Chains A and B, each alone.
Chain A
Amino acid sequence: MTSLVLRPLCFNSLHKKGLLMTSMFFLLSTGAWMSAALVLRSKNPVHSVFYLVLTFLHASGLLVLLGLEFFALLLLLVYIGALAIMFLFVVMLLDIPATELMAHQRGAYPVAGLLFVTLVISLVGLLWQPVETSPLVTPLWPVVQGGPLGLEFPETSWQTAAMSHSALAQLGVALYGVHVDLLLLASLLLLVAMIGAVALTLTRRVHAPLHDVFAQQSVDYQKVVSLVQQSTQAKTFT
């Protein structure tokens, strides 16, 4: 087991804490699986949304075990606080009958086989970890491990940042400083989604006045002024 390339996954604290954290991990992941299965199996979509909230709760517990408290809170706030409530609004707004299980599964067996093959390949790649002689060892691994190809860990700004800042400050530097293009792309994506959602569900009234922006902008102001003068003259004459 010493020739495994993967580091022990960040569970240095878990090794010290021992059996409690291990059992917490298994408990939370089993709970996530069970609630995910209940998302699939429950007939009522409202129950499905509630089981999805339960899945997110278990996942945020897993993130706390990983040591990522910020992302656990973000999962709670964003997913459960916003997305699940949005799902609940739509599910309760629309009158969706409780549908029959196993209703529409015909013709999906090739997809099922593809998924099964993917699962098997992933399981094999997961449990049979790559060793140094394996072709699965990409150039990423020796750099990360700092070992077998003689490559030292690169002296990037990440390392000094990791030494001097907390993980959240480091994430802030990465988000707002280094990868600010990703931040701009994300904001653009959110803008497109917001405008798209509004434009999709917007319905006009039938006899609503149509605002022709081009006609409004291209009004000749001199004619307008002359028209107003004529009307005032007409008023004064009468």
Chain B
Amino acid sequence: MSVFFFKGVALFTPLVLFVMGAMGTFLNRRNLIIMLLCIELMLLAANLVFLTASVALDDINGQLLALWVMTAAAAETALGLALCVLHYRLRATLDVELINLMKGSQQNHAS
């Protein structure tokens, strides 16, 4: 019975984690920090899928790619937090709905 469970369930955990991260990124967007945290969650889920498949298929390349995803996540976090600090200096808020500096006008078009 447990054999039957483990065949799919080991990939089920990162799938749910990924959907939670995607929901937090696209639906539940409140501020930029929360969106970055949710992107971290999605990258963690991708990492778990890579590692599980690597162990399941007896292939070392999955672990290599997981290492690469970790590197990309570190770089993405550094740049995202730098953008957070930069936008906070300009606008004194991190609300996602108020990010409209590239719309050509300094006024708030959201309302």
A positions within 8 Å CB-CB of B: 1, 4, 6-11, 14-15, 18-19, 22, 25, 29, 32-33, 36-37, 39-40, 45, 48-49, 52, 55-56, 59, 62-63, 66-68, 71, 74-75, 78-79, 82-83, 86-87, 90-91, 93-94, 96, 99-105, 108, 111-112, 115, 118-119, 122-123, 126-127, 129, 144, 158, 161-162, 167, 170-171, 174-175, 179, 182, 186, 189-190, 192-194, 196-197, 200-201
Contact = CB atoms under 8 A, between A and B. Distances in A.
A71 B51 contact: yes
B22 A115 contact: yes
Contacts of B10: 9, 11, 25, 66
Contacts of B17: 32-33, 36, 55, 59
A126 to B, nearest CB: 5
Contacts of B77: 83, 86-87
A86 B52 contact: no
Most buried by B among A15, A19, A126, A192: A126
A104 B11 CA distance: 31
Interface in B46-97: 47-48, 51-52, 55-61, 63-64, 66-68, 70-79, 81-86, 88, 94-97
A8 B23 contact: no
Given A9-B6, A71-B51, A40 B23 contact: yes
**Interface size band for B:** 35 or more
A186 B77 CA distance: 15
A101 B30 CA distance: 8
Nearest to A153: B58
Contacts of A22: 2, 5-6
Dominant SS at the A interface? helix
B73 A108 contact: no
Return the 10 tightest CB-CB contacts between A and B, nearest first.
A193-B75, A10-B55, A29-B13, A197-B82, A200-B82, A99-B30, A9-B56, A186-B71, A40-B24, A111-B26
14 contacts: A9-B52, A39-B24, A39-B38, A40-B20, A79-B44, A94-B33, A102-B28, A104-B29, A112-B27, A122-B15, A126-B8, A129-B8, A144-B57, A200-B85
Most buried by B among A90, A112, A186: A90
B85 A93 contact: yes
Contacts of A68: 51, 55, 63
A105 B16 contact: no
Contacts of B5: 22
Contacts of B37: 39, 45, 48-49, 52, 87
Most buried by B among A32, A40, A48, A56: A40
A158 B48 contact: no
B78 A4 contact: no
